[in-house]
Each structure stands twice: as structure tokens, then as C-alpha cells.
């Protein structure tokens, strides 16, 4: 496999269906709520928490906890690094598909 | 390899869903439409001066957001302040609306870009026009020297678009991004200032609202708002060129005649957006 093979552009942190989904939704918004992500990605709260922790630890997301009245809410926002990582991952996936199709 | 295709399909589906759920454009369209429809009430005519007396012409605090071709308004300052406050209140209410909506839907779109573009337009029209007129030396005026003003207008506009595009690329780091945004918005203000030179009818606020609607279409990736925004921008341009007005009636009727079309475009667009949003929730 040569150095410029598209798979070299794939990032282990991002190259996972649900984490890619979280970043995609976060990139379309200023902030997104935990419950919205859980429903959109059809994940359990525990699974979503684990993916979010990985992405926050990698500096790709920020997390903000607060209250709406008495109801606790967790909001997630994407960082500049997160946008760059998502952009790179999508480009690598497209290159991979294009290489396969050609 | 099919895994890559599947991932891309999933990403596309999630992106479409997030964009659809983030849309809440009916409220800002209806609000700005209503604010435009109310504006004619401010254009009350002054009583004619007694025979043999002259009345001073007051153009109000913001000539481009003011009395325009009318020289006999009773409250020219009210007209200027109405338009400035309509923009400020309209934008503040839009930000409030998207925050309130985010609490219900769980997703909030980023309206900061809209504030940046509208800020550049307001700064260009209110501050840029006098600055440009005083800095650029012409044999007569900038209005009568398009060979000087048009290159400034189109040059600054094009450069602004390129610099802003460059700044907003996802991989751009914080420092160059901030510098690019500053330069891009400054160039955008300069382009608006050069455009303001040609706006003689006092309805520049409509063009600011047009920028707000077009930016909203971009933020929401909404075809409906884009179509509404383009139609509204065209109508706003016609009003600013004096095409829609007939000047032989009560000022409030004249202004209503001019503003009815742009206001109607926003209101019809808002109603369509509300119907689409409601259908999407079912």
C-alpha cells in the first residue's frame, strides 16, 4: 500500500460510524443536545456517553452541562480541530470510493 | 469498500436530518415582513410652511435609512431610528428564536455569521459612505464617477468573498481565520459603502434585511429561503432605485406602495416555511 493511499487519511478516532455521525450533526449546528444525538443515532445513553468522551478527549468536541428548569441537559459543540478531522475523514472516504469506482 | 460508501450515505442522511431539524426560518421571515409593513406609518408629511416662509430640510440621523427623496417629513429622525431599530430588534429576536427553538428541538444553528454579514452591511451604509466620500478623491462626486466607484464596489465585493471563503475553510487555524474574517468583513463593508453611494431613496435597510435573509438561507442550507432571499433582494433593489414608487400621493401611501412587494415576499415565504416545517414534523 503506497503512502498516498486514501486509507492513510482515515483517523481511528473519527473512523467509526457513530463518532462520524456525532461529528456530522455537530458540524451542522452551533450546539446539539445529548437527547437529540441519542435519538438521531439510535444509541443508548451509555454508548453515546462513551463515544462523546472519546471525541472530547481528542479535542474534537466540547461539552457543556446545564439545566433547563430542573431538567439537566448536556450540549455538545464541535471544535475547529473537529471540523478539520471530519473534513479530512470525508475527503478520505470519498477518495476511497472514487479509487474503487475507477 | 462498500463500508466507505455506506458511511458516506449515513453521513449524508444525518446531515440532511440535522439541517431539516435546525430550520426555523418562518419566524424571522414573518417578523421582518411585518416590520417592513409597519414602516410606512413613520412617513407622516409635515404641514406646508406658511406662505412666504421656508422650512429647513431635515434628512434625519441616518440618510441612507431615512427620508430619501422626501424633504417634508414631520419626523425624519423617527424614520431613521425605526429602520435601525427594526434591524437590531429583528436580529435580536432571530437569535432569541433559534435559542428558544434549540431548547425544544435539541439543535441550534449558529447565527453569528448572520450577525457578521449584517454588521458589515450596516457599518458600510452608515459609516462607510461618509468615510469613502472623504477618502476617495474625485473630480466631482463618487456618484457621478462610476469609473472610480464601480471598481471599488465590485473589487471589494469579490475580494471579500474570496477572503471569507479562505478564512472559513475547515482546516484554517484560529489566527489566520480571525485575521481573514476581519479583512473579509472590512472589504464587505467597503463594498456596501460603494453601493450606498447609489442609494438615494432611503431604503438601504431593505438591502441589509436582504443580506440577513440570504445569510440565513446559507446557514440553514434552505432552498426555500434562498429563493425568497433572491426575490426579496431584487425587490429591495428596485425600491432603492425608485422603480416601484409613484411620488404623487400621501407619503405613507407612496411608501406603502413601495414596501408592499418586498414585505409580501417575506410574508408569503414565511407562511410557506411554516407550512413546510409543520409538514416535516408529521
Residues linked to residue B45 through DSSP beta bridges, in sequence order: B73
Residue pointed to by grid coordinates 461618509: B130
Q: What is the DSSP letter of B73?
A: B
Cβ count near B162 (within 10 Å) = 13
Does residue A44 belong to any structural domain of this protein?
A: yes
pLDDT tens series, chain B, 282 aa: 578 888 899 999 999 999 999 889 999 999 999 999 999 999 888 777 777 777 666 777 788 887 777 777 888 889 999 999 999 999 999 999 999 998 889 999 888 888 899 999 999 998 998 898 888 887 888 888 899 999 999 999 999 999 999 998 888 888 899 999 999 999 999 999 999 999 888 899 999 999 999 999 999 999 999 999 999 999 999 999 877 666 677 888 888 988 999 999 999 999 999 998 888 766
Domain assignment present for B218? yes
- For A8, B17, B37, the CA distances from B264, given in Å and listed in that order, are 54, 30, 8
pLDDT tens-place string over residues A29-42: 999 999 999 999 99
Give the helix/strand (H/E) hosting A75: strand A71-78
Query: Does residue A92 sit within a domain?
Result: yes
Would you say residue B4 lies in a domain? Answer: no
Q: Return the H-helix or E-strand segment holding A31.
A: strand A31-33
Q: Which of B200, B202, B230 is nearest to B214 (CA)?
A: B230
In a domain, B18, yes or no: no
Enclosing domain of residue A66: 10-97
Q: Which of residues 43-82 of A touch B (CB under 8 A)?
A: 68, 80
Instruction: Tell me which chain A residues have a C-beta less than 8 angstroms from the C-beta of B8.
Output: 90, 93-94, 97
| Residue in B18, B105, B171 closest to A28 by CB | B18
Which structural domain, as residue segments, surrounds residue B62?
A: 25-281
CA B135/CA A6 separation, integer angstroms: 53
At B81, list the grid cell: 431610528
ipTM given for this complex = 0.86
The answer to whether the CB of B28 falls within 8 A of the CB of B282 is no
Within-domain flag for B146: yes
**What cell numbers appear for B216 in the block?**
440565513
Q: Is A33 on the interface with B (CB under 8 A)?
A: yes
Phi-psi region of B255 (alpha: psi -120 to 50; beta: other; left: phi over 0): alpha
pLDDT at B118: 92
Cell for B150?
Answer: 464601480
Q: Is residue B16 part of a domain?
A: no
Q: Does residue A2 fall inside a structural domain?
A: no
Residue A4 lies in a domain: no
Instruction: With respect to residue A38, please indicate whether it lies within any of the assigned structural domains.
Output: yes
CATH number of the domain encompassing residue A29: 1.10.10.10
Count up the domains in chain A and report the number: 1
In a domain, B106, yes or no: yes
Number of domains in chain B: 1
Amino acid at each position: 500500500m503506497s503512502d498516498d493511499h486514501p486509507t492513510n487519511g482515515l483517523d481511528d478516532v473519527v473512523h467509526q460510524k457513530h463518532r462520524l455521525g456525532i461529528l456530522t450533526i455537530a458540524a451542522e449546528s452551533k450546539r446539539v443536545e445529548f437527547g437529540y444525538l441519542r435519538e438521531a443515532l439510535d444509541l443508548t445513553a451509555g454508548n453515546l456517553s462513551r463515544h462523546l468522551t472519546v471525541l472530547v478527549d481528542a479535542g474534537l468536541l466540547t461539552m457543556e452541562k446545564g439545566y433547563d428548569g430542573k431538567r439537566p441537559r448536556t450540549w455538545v459543540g464541535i471544535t475547529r480541530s473537529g471540523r478539520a478531522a471530519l473534513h479530512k475523514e470525508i475527503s478520505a472516504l470519498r477518495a476511497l470510493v472514487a479509487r474503487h469506482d475507477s | 469498500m462498500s463500508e466507505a460508501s455506506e458511511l458516506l450515505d449515513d453521513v449524508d442522511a444525518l446531515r440532511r436530518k440535522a439541517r431539516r431539524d435546525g430550520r426555523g426560518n418562518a419566524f424571522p421571515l414573518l417578523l421582518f415582513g411585518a416590520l417592513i409593513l409597519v414602516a410606512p406609518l413613520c412617513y407622516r408629511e409635515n404641514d406646508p410652511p406658511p406662505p412666504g416662509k421656508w422650512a429647513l430640510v431635515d434628512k434625519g440621523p441616518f440618510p441612507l435609512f431615512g427620508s430619501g427623496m422626501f424633504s417634508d417629513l414631520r419626523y425624519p429622525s423617527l424614520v431613521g431610528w425605526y429602520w435601525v431599530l427594526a434591524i437590531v430588534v429583528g436580529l435580536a429576536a432571530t437569535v432569541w428564536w433559534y435559542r428558544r427553538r434549540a431548547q425544544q428541538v435539541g439543535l441550534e444553528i449558529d447565527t453569528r455569521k448572520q450577525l457578521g454579514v449584517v454588521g458589515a452591511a450596516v457599518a458600510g451604509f452608515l459609516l462607510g459612505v461618509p468615510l469613502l466620500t472623504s477618502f476617495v478623491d474625485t473630480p466631482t462626486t463618487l456618484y457621478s464617477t462610476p469609473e472610480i466607484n464601480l471598481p471599488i464596489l465590485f473589487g471589494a465585493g469579490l475580494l471579500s468573498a474570496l477572503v471569507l471563503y479562505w478564512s472559513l475553510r475547515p482546516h484554517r487555524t484560529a489566527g489566520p481565520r480571525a485575521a481573514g474574517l476581519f479583512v473579509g468583513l472590512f472589504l464587505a463593508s467597503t463594498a456596501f459603502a460603494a453601493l450606498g453611494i447609489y442609494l438615494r431613496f432611503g431604503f438601504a435597510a431593505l438591502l441589509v434585511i436582504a443580506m440577513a435573509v440570504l445569510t440565513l438561507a446559507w446557514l440553514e442550507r434552505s432552498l426555500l429561503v434562498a429563493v425568497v432571499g433572491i426575490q426579496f433582494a431584487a425587490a429591495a433593489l428596485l425600491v432603492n432605485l425608485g422603480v416601484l414608487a409613484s411620488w404623487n400621493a400621501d407619503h405613507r401611501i407612496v411608501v406603502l406602495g413601495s414596501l408592499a412587494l418586498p414585505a409580501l415576499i417575506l410574508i408569503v415565504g414565511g407562511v410557506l416555511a411554516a407550512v413546510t416545517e409543520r409538514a416535516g414534523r408529521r
